[in-house]
Structures are given as C-alpha cells and as structure tokens.
Amino acid sequence: MIIKSNNILSLIGDFLEYLLVERGCSQNTLSSYSSDLYQFTEQVGKTNVHELNSTDIDKFLKYLLDKGYLPATKARKLASVRSFVSYLHAEGFIQSDPTDLIPSPKRSKRLPTVLKFSDVKAILELPLNISSSAEAMRDAAMLQIAYASGLRVSEIIGLDVEDIDFTAESVRCLGKGSKERIVPVHKKALDSIDIYLSKGRKKFKDKGIKALFLNKRGDRLTRQGFWGIVKKYARIIGFENTMTPHTLRHSFATHLLEGGAPIRHVQELLGHASISTTQIYTHLAVEFVRDQYDSAHPRA
C-alpha cells in the first residue's frame, strides 16, 4: 500500500493530476486551479492538510475582498479551493469539509460524454485487432474492465492481481475515502484479463509487485499512463476530441439505466456516496428513450 503525503503542496499536485486524467480538464483550466490553490496555501500559511479549517477559508475570502478582485474572479478562486477541499474529503485526507458552510452559486452540470454501444464495442476490440503484443493484451483488459465494471481510473490502476475473482466473476476495488466494494464483472472482461495474465503480464519486467496492470518498466500503471493509452485508441477510432478516461464509465452507467437497471443498483456499482451524483445519468437515459420514441413512433 502506498502511503500518501499529507503535505498540501504535494496533494495539490495529486489533485491537478486527478483533474487532468479523471476529469479530462484542459491545460487552461488546470493552470487556473494551480494558480488559485497556490495562492490559497500562501495566504493560509499551512503545510499539513489536517490543519485546514473554516477559519482558513474565511481568511482567504477576506484576502480576496481586500485585494479588490472582481466578483467573477473571487467566485472562481473560491470554487477552486472548494473543489480541492472536496477532493481531500472524498479521498479521506480530512474528516470534514471546511467549505460546507460557505454558500456558492449553483452551476448547471455538464452532461458527460457517452458512446453508443456500437462505438464501445469497436474501441474494446481495437487493441487486439491491431496488435498481438503484451501491451495490446493489457490495453484490451483495461478497456474491457473499464466498461464492464464502471470503475474509476484510480480504481482500475489500483487493482492488484488478487483482486480479480474469476470464480465469483467479480472484482474488489478501493474507492473514494478508501471504501472497499465488490463489483460484478462481465465474463468477456474476465476472459480478456485471463488472456493478459496468462500470456501478456509475464512479458513485462518482473519487479515482484502485485499490481494487475504494469507499464513497460514493470511498475504499476499510473493515471497518466492510462490516459495516454485511452488517447491512443481514441485517436485511431476518431474520438480524440470527445473521449476521456471516464467515458467508458459514463457509458457503462447510462447503458445500464437504458436497459432498465434500478438507479440504486447503478449507484452501488459506481461507488457513489449520494444517489444525486448518479442521477445525472438518468437525464442521459431519458434522452435515449426520447430518441427511440422519435424513431419508432408512427407519428414522430
């Protein structure tokens, strides 16, 4: 198990990597977050996240007011701090969120990108259609499990070999806040993982680590490495501008709801603490039903 640092500056780096790889944020957005968060840490003068409290947030707000920032700029900087602190809370670094009591303007949620099933099928089959290498076996297994289980990128790269249960057809993962859950996995994904374990993984450099997915150096694959793999296949299939590392997770959730799965079950599979987080997929499912209605109804 990797022991993470409680140093604020180190965790800002982790947070920015999370925004890039798991949220697909642009470089401009990352630059804004980085500037805002380093400004925040400079003003509060603390290095350990355990020391953060609501007084620090108030102090930063007063600083922004004293500096005469425009309302839109103040709102953005506060939103950056709020997102960072929310990330720390979700990951278990802090026990409570000191920004909870600070009101913020409501913003409309952007609907995630979802692929049609035919497009999902095409990208899942792509690695082994273009290569028979160990890397292709690994890539196929990763993409398969991403869609078959809906795991987050951090959960996928955090898997160890022993987390795959072929008999129970499930995977054990460690989610946000270090909460463990067992997720059922489709047999096709398990078959893909079996091929990778029996033929591909042993061709990577052996450092004796337990990680399921390895890079060329024999180390655990990183978020950046996963993102690079996704971009590679997205570029080949023409989805470079629309696909992110979590597109398969979003597609998994939406396709389940389209197929009639109860939203509570989808919530549990995704590891969402609140059902309100899962409900964004119901909007996508409604759009799907409306499209089906328009194409099938005789008066449409």
Residue 55 has pLDDT above 70, yes or no: yes
Who contacts 117 (Cβ-Cβ below 8 Å, separation ≥6)?
Answer: 255
Class for the domain spanning 8-90: mainly alpha
Task: Report pTM.
Answer: 0.64
**Residue 68: which region, alpha, beta or left (left: phi > 0; alpha: psi -120 to 50)?**
left
Q: What angle do CA 14, 203, 205 make, to 5 degrees?
A: 50
Of 23, 14, 17, 83, the C-alpha closest to 250 is 23
Residue positions annotated with a catalytic role: 152, 176, 246, 249, 272, 281
* pLDDT, average across residues 3-14: 77
Q: Which residue is associated with the tokens 């096709």? A: 188
Residue 131 has pLDDT above 90, yes or no: yes
Q: Where are the alpha helices (DSSP H) in the chain?
A: 8-21, 27-44, 54-67, 71-90, 117-130, 134-149, 153-157, 187-195, 223-237, 247-258, 263-270, 275-278, 280-296
Phi and psi at 273, nearest 5°, equal -70, -35
Tens of pLDDT, residue by residue over 61-100, are 888 888 888 888 888 888 888 888 888 887 778 877 777 6
Q: CATH homologous superfamily for 117-290?
A: Intergrase catalytic core (1.10.443.10)
Domains 8-90 and 117-290 share a fold: no
Q: Rank 156-165, 168-177, 272-281 by mean pLDDT and report only the highest.
A: 156-165
Where residue 175 falls among pLDDT bands split at 50, 70, 90?
A: confident
Where residue 21 falls among pLDDT bands split at 50, 70, 90?
A: confident
Domain boundaries, the chain: 8-90, 117-290
Give dist(CA 241, CA 26) in Å, integer. 11
